[in-house]
Amino acid sequence: MKTKFVIMLLFALASFGCTPQYFRPIEGPKANLRVMTQNQIVYAWLHTYRELGCKSPMAMGALGPTSHVRLVEHHNPIGMLGSKVTPDTRIVEQIIPADRPFTILFTQHGPHTMDKVRTCSLPITFLPIPDKHYEVVYDFDWKQCFITVEELKQANDGKTERVKVSNVTKEEAACGPFRF
């Protein structure tokens, strides 16, 4: 158990200690992005990139239960459709650049059982449209990790509608959270 904790700590330090933080764009077209997990045991680190092809990584934060993730600024809601009122360690909301491909990398390490160590690295890219709201839900089963990307729209009755985004691709480049 102690060995797993040390490995996780070293991985976290390498992921965030060597990688610059993501900063919201100041100029140009923008969209809103909510990244979340509804799973009570999954935790994942989030990264994006300044350049296509997974070049120049930037740390966007972490998702997971409060037992594994400390509540920090990137968990604060930004007023998106369907935002919670209070911060939640399983949700990260960010303003992102629009009108150009946007890549996000999910890196999960765990949960573990006595005989299995589970890891997953899933980079996806999509084209955000300016002023739109997007929700990316990350989850896993015991064999694989997966995501859904949906655009959020406000219906006439005031409820939030979700429409699957069709331009999502799994990034084939060797994406990683580390700066080289």
pLDDT tens digits for 6-62?
Answer: 444 444 444 445 678 888 888 999 999 999 987 777 778 888 988 888 888 888 888
CA distance 37 to 28: 29
Query: pLDDT digits over 149-164, tens only?
Result: 999 999 999 899 999 9
Omega cis (within 30) before 177? no
Q: Is the pLDDT of residue 69 over 70?
A: yes
* Amino acid 15: pLDDT: 44
Mean pLDDT across the chain, nearest whole number? 81
Residue 103 pLDDT = 92
Q: Return the C-alpha torsion angle 143, 145, 150, 154, nearest 10.
A: 90
C-alpha span between 92 and 37 (Å, rounded): 10
**Mean pLDDT across the stretch 57-73?**
81
d(CA 52, CA 101): 8
Q: How far apart are CA 95 and CA 133, in angstroms?
A: 9
Q: Is the pLDDT of residue 123 over 50?
A: yes
Can you give the pLDDT at residue 18?
Answer: 63
What does the DSSP 8-state code read for residue 126? E
pLDDT of 129 higher than 90: yes
Least trusted range by pLDDT, from 22-26, 61-65, 109-113: 109-113
For the chain, how big is the Rg over CA atoms in Å?
16
Q: What is the average per-residue pLDDT within 57-85?
A: 84
CA–CA gap between residue 19 and residue 61 (Å, rounded) = 11
Grade residue 128 by pLDDT with cuts at 50, 70 and 90.
very high
- What's at 90, amino acid-wise? R
Q: Which two tokens stand for residue 68?
A: 């594994």
